[in-house]
Structure 1
Amino acid sequence: MYNKNPWPLTLYFDGNCPLCAREIKILRRHATHGRLLFIDLNSAEFDAKALGFTFEHMQSVLHARFADGRWVEGLDATLWSWRAAGLGFWASPLTWRALRPLLAFGYRLFCRLRPHLAWLPHPDGRRRCVDNRCAVPESQHAPDASDTLKTRQP
């Protein structure tokens, strides 16, 4: 039976994903304390096995758990997290029956493409780090005076 007060909702997200991190930033800004909790799958304290999942499964699709232990995934996790943050109006198209199959297809496509979107800028300026190593792009050197003179000569 549905619990009338399912809060808090715990949202398990990939903090290294630039698009995911942008959404979490919005949700954090609007969430009230005790209604929506956030757990980054990449934090040292996170243990997928303790929840009965593999890390890969948790990363493959958004997961959320209600206070009564019920899990929701994918579009439903998105819908309920936005509702928990008081932004349910923006997620209401996720409940429209006519649109739901198209949105579900789009979400599955996003989940497949998401690992390839790591090149997008991260909202907190982090670079994607793997195995405790972060790739930092080489800085471009400023042209020296001789380079500038060479380009200006006819």
Structure 2
Amino acid sequence: MITVYYDGKCGLCSREIGYFRKRTPKRPIVFHDIAKQPDVLERLGISQADALLYFHVEDEDGQLQSGVRAFALMWGQYRGWRVLAKLVVLPGVRPFVDMIYRKFAHMRFARYPHCKASLALDAQN
């Protein structure tokens, strides 16, 4: 079983997770909306701001993956997505895809007030 941590207040994120929730994965997947359930992050040692900035997935061994690797881990559980999952982590492809994803993630984070507010909450803790 893998665990997916996503931003439920982000329309794009919610639509993507909704798409995958309607499909049958190879193995069970647990989904946590970290915008509504920030307490699930405590045991992972990750701040809500970091979790909102980058997509995170916990693998079957309890290892936390983020960004492109996290997407690949989730996509690899679904028929029709496994080829893309393998492609984006190839050594010649991943640095480029990582760069694009990081730029997109920072633009998305800056766009949503709840993401910016999470920075203030993290600073208080």
Asked if Structure 1 and Structure 2 have the same fold, meaning a TM-score greater than 0.5 normalized by the shorter chain, the answer is: yes
**Offset, 1:115:** 2.7
Partner of 1:11, secondary structure, is: strand
**Unaligned stretches of 5+ in structure 1?**
1-7, 119-127, 132-154
- Give the counterpart letter for 2:109 in structure 1: P
Partner of 1:92, secondary structure, is: helix
CA distance in 2, matches of 1:45, 1:73: 16
1:112 paired residue number: 106
Sequence identity (%): 25
Preserved CA contact (<8 Å) 1:9 1:84 = no
The reply to whether residue 74 of structure 1 matches residue 74 of structure 2 is no
- Give the counterpart letter for 1:114 in structure 2: R
**Residue by residue, what CA displacement relative to the aligned partner does 1:27-51 show, whole Å, maximum 9, x if unpaired?**
1122348521100002247342232
**Residue by residue, what CA displacement relative to the aligned partner does 1:116-152 show, whole Å, maximum 9, x if unpaired?**
555xxxxxxxxx8xx9xxxxxxxxxxxxxxxxxxxxx
**Offset, 1:96:** 2.9
**Offset, 1:69:** 1.1
**Offset, 1:105:** 0.6
* RMSD of aligned alpha carbons: 2.5
Preserved CA contact (<8 Å) 1:40 1:46 = no
CA distance in 1, matches of 2:38, 2:65: 22
CA distance in 1, matches of 2:96, 2:63: 25
More helix by share: 2
| Larger gyration radius, structure 1 or structure 2 | 1
Q: Which of 93, 118, 124 pairs up with 1:99?
A: 93
2:12 paired residue number: 19
Report the TM-score, using the length of structure 2 for normalisation.
Answer: 0.76
The reply to whether residue 42 of structure 1 matches residue 54 of structure 2 is no
Runs of 4+ in 1 over 6 A off after TM superposition: none
**Unaligned stretches of 5+ in structure 2?**
118-125
